[in-house]
Structure 1
Amino acid sequence: MPNWLLPEFIADVLPAEARKMEEIRRKVLDAFRSYGYELVVPPMLEYLESLLTGVGQDTEIYTFKLIDQLSGRTMGIRADMTTQVARIDAHLLNRNAVTRLCYAGSILHTRPSGLQGTREPLQIGAEIFGYPGIEADAEIQDLALTSLKAANITGVCLDLSHVGVLKSLIAADPLAQIFEAQLFDLLETKDMPGLTELTKGFHEDTRNALLALPDMYGDINVLKEARKVLPENGGIEKALNELEFLAGQADCGRVTIDLADMHGYHYHSGVMFAAYVPGLPNALARGGRYDHVAEAFGRSRPATGFSMDLRELARLLPAPEKRRAILAPWNNDEKCRQAIRELRKSGELVVFELPGAKSEHDEFVCDRELVCETENGNWNVKTVSKDE
């Protein structure tokens, strides 16, 4: 096998695409900072038990594992940064007040998330710790939509769901509690025959509600239907009220509700959301509340946040226009060097033409050149003619 081949679903990022990703990263981090979020940089490797604390089975499946040669303990390469940031908040910062943190970096998956996915997403996200109220969820939702706008993503549809509906239904029925894992799988795949068979023997109200959940998808009117069909229950009412509030807060083209969306059910503890754009099956951003993750780190802190993949965002955007650049000869003349310094200081892009060689660029077009005026020895910028 040629030694330049990369593993499946692992790829280099070439100059134009890398620049696009970096520009998006800067814009999104600037958006985070404008909301008061502080940047942290967790390590790529941690002991496995720390990485997998409080997360669902999916994260464990996606995590690469290896043996630490120094300690002999099993380590993992992060497949998600959220738990790491929760550890930083709970154990290192140890603040009592509300804390806003953000992050950006590569993560690694054992398998791709889709046919066109990568095993090395570039994850960027933000989290709020220490506030249990719906206002924090509204802020995170708003920040996610603002970040997508900063990345020039348009036509966003926000899909809202809430684990409180299913958890409340299961909590009210002892038999449903026994089959919680199976219920989750069946609802996730909207397997109505399997759901009909499994729920035989459940309380009638619970069974009717579970069978109705897969059809509870659509606009805000879904919540009106849910209030008619679902049993009276404090947890369900709270969940529906929170969804209604967040739907009203969403600043985007379209909002949908899906009460059977179980993505992240074992990880989240409240509202969940996903942002989609037309023509793309995968969510561009996912987020929600996860109040129990930090318990294993010694502090139970309310938490809500979101993340997205910069590679996915970059693929949606057109290739950037090439930057106009100035070609300058390699020259030790002090006037030439000073002219180049001044041009770069003013924001111009100046590329040296090395002696006897030509340069090729994907990102730049050298439409001007720096030339010496023979009369006075000064260096000036001259437009390159198309014929040259």
Structure 2
Amino acid sequence: MNQWTLPDYVEDMLPDEAVYLESLRRSILDLYQTHGYLYVIPPMLEYIESLNSNGQDMDLDTFKVVDQLSGRLMGVRADITPQVARIDAHLIQNDEVTRLSYAGSVLRTKPASFLQSREPFQIGAELYGFNGIEADLEIQTLLIKTLNTIGIKNPVFDFNHLDIFTTLIASSGMGRDQIDLLYQAMQKKDKSEVVDLTKSMDKKNREALIALVSLYGDVNILKEAEKVLPKDKAIQNALQFLTQIDKALKANPIKISYDLSDIRGYQYHNGLVFSVYADNCYSPIALGGRYDNIGASFGRNRPATGFTMDLKNIVTLFPNGKKAKAILAPQLKDTALEKAIESLRQKGEIVAIDLFGNMNAIENNCDRILIQDANKAWKVKTV
């Protein structure tokens, strides 16, 4: 094997992509700052107990190492969300609303899909301390602005409320393994598998779970759900909540849909969950929702809602066609030239020095050169 070969689903980012990702990161974090979200930078490595507060799935995603100092098991973070929850619980300790943002690489034992990296670059925002719909709407509005900053037009927001699923299985007597199988069947919309897995359930809840597989579409699907699902208070409240979300967001330049069988993250999410899709993208470009119980493992259970997205995935799916062009300047000992170069750089221009004295401007991504005019003044000229 060649020494320069990288592991599967791990890759370098070359200059054009890296510059684009960094530009997006700066613009997005600046957006979050204007909305009161404080930037935090958690460590890449933590004790495994802290990283796996999201459950078994995160444990399987986590690379593990033994700490040579303490002998304890540590993990390389596979998700920044539990780290931010730990920061809210133990370092900030604010009883009021806390808004936090983050951006950084994570490492996973396997990719989320065959098109994605095992080293995503996560960016997101979290809101702690308020359990009203206003917090959910603030997070979704911020995500809409994030997508607009990136330049993604007409995204599809796909909503569900996990109280529907958890209410239906609460009295089922199913174990964790069986619920996991039911989750997989729901995600695949495999009605026959759902039928088979729910044989031992009471008729009313079983029929409701089977119905969930077909309950997806626009806001009208919520009316259909009211007809076919049990008249349980928690289920009816969940459907009313989704209707409120629809009314509050429909004026935005997004398409809203509902999928009552999408129970992604049911192990740690509660209440509203959502996935965001874009044209010609078959997997979500952003995920979010409520996870009010995420702080429990850190001894401080607070309402929490937020979203996350992978900027590496965004850069791959929506490549930037624009390249920042540079100015090529000669390598000379000339005070006036040095001042001209510094002045251009202070204005935000990219100025590269021609070290060889015969560099090709076009091949080096330079569309201009710095030359002396007849009066010995340094001027920028288009090539």
- Compute the TM-score of the two structures, normalised by the length of structure 1: 0.93
1:225 corresponds to: 224
| Structure-1 separation of matches of 2:306 and 2:116 | 23
| Structure-2 separation of matches of 1:80 and 1:298 | 20
1:16 corresponds to: 16
Residues 84-123 of structure 1: matches in 2 within 5 Å?
Answer: 84-123=83-122
**Runs (5+) with no aligned partner, structure 1:** none
What amino acid is the match of 1:39? Answer: Y
1:158 corresponds to: 157
| Structure-1 separation of matches of 2:7 and 2:361 | 28
Q: Decide whether the 8 Å contact of 2:291 with 2:303 is kept in 1.
A: yes
| Structure-2 separation of matches of 1:380 and 1:168 | 72
Q: More displaced, 209-218 or 22-31? A: 22-31
Residues 253-272 of structure 1: matches in 2 within 5 Å?
Answer: 253-272=254-273
- How far the C-alpha of 1:20 sits from its partner, in A, is 1.2
Distance 1:286 1:360, change over 3 A: farther
Q: Decide whether the 8 Å contact of 2:331 with 2:357 is kept in 1.
A: no
| Structure-2 separation of matches of 1:223 and 1:136 | 22
- Compute the TM-score of the two structures, normalised by the length of structure 2: 0.94
What secondary structure, in the 3-state scheme, does the structure 1 residue paired with 2:274 have?
Answer: strand
Q: Decide whether the 8 Å contact of 1:105 with 1:123 is kept in 2.
A: yes
- How far the C-alpha of 1:190 sits from its partner, in A, is 2.5
1:198 corresponds to: 197
**Runs (5+) with no aligned partner, structure 2:** none
2:371 corresponds to: 371
Alignment of 1:277 with 2:278, yes or no, is yes
Percent identical among aligned pairs is 45
- How far the C-alpha of 1:187 sits from its partner, in A, is 2.3
What amino acid is the match of 1:159? Answer: D
2:50 corresponds to: 50
Residues 1-388 of structure 1: matches in 2 within 5 Å?
Answer: 1-53=1-53, 55-171=54-170, 173-175=171-173, 180-250=179-249, 251-356=252-357, 358=359, 365-373=365-373, 376-384=375-383
| Structure-1 separation of matches of 2:241 and 2:209 | 20
Distance 1:319 1:197, change over 3 A: closer
Q: Decide whether the 8 Å contact of 2:172 with 2:202 is kept in 1.
A: no
Distance 1:154 1:225, change over 3 A: same
| Structure-1 separation of matches of 2:173 and 2:74 | 38
- How far the C-alpha of 1:341 sits from its partner, in A, is 1.4
Q: Decide whether the 8 Å contact of 2:328 with 2:361 is kept in 1.
A: no
| Alignment RMSD (CA, Å) | 1.9
Distance 1:201 1:119, change over 3 A: closer
Q: More displaced, 247-256 or 179-188? A: 179-188
Q: Decide whether the 8 Å contact of 2:99 with 2:125 is kept in 1.
A: yes
Q: Decide whether the 8 Å contact of 1:160 with 1:271 is kept in 2.
A: yes
Q: Decide whether the 8 Å contact of 2:17 with 2:315 is kept in 1.
A: yes
What amino acid is the match of 2:149? Answer: A
| Structure-2 separation of matches of 1:46 and 1:283 | 28
- How far the C-alpha of 1:132 sits from its partner, in A, is 1.0
Q: Decide whether the 8 Å contact of 1:170 with 1:177 is kept in 2.
A: no
Distance 1:341 1:175, change over 3 A: closer
What amino acid is the match of 2:291? Answer: Y
Aligned residues: 380
What amino acid is the match of 2:165? Answer: L
What secondary structure, in the 3-state scheme, does the structure 2 residue paired with 1:66 have?
Answer: strand
- How far the C-alpha of 1:205 sits from its partner, in A, is 1.6
| Structure-1 separation of matches of 2:108 and 2:159 | 26
What amino acid is the match of 1:320? Answer: G
- How far the C-alpha of 1:154 sits from its partner, in A, is 1.3
What amino acid is the match of 2:377? Answer: N
Q: Decide whether the 8 Å contact of 1:16 with 1:320 is kept in 2.
A: no
| Structure-1 separation of matches of 2:207 and 2:325 | 64
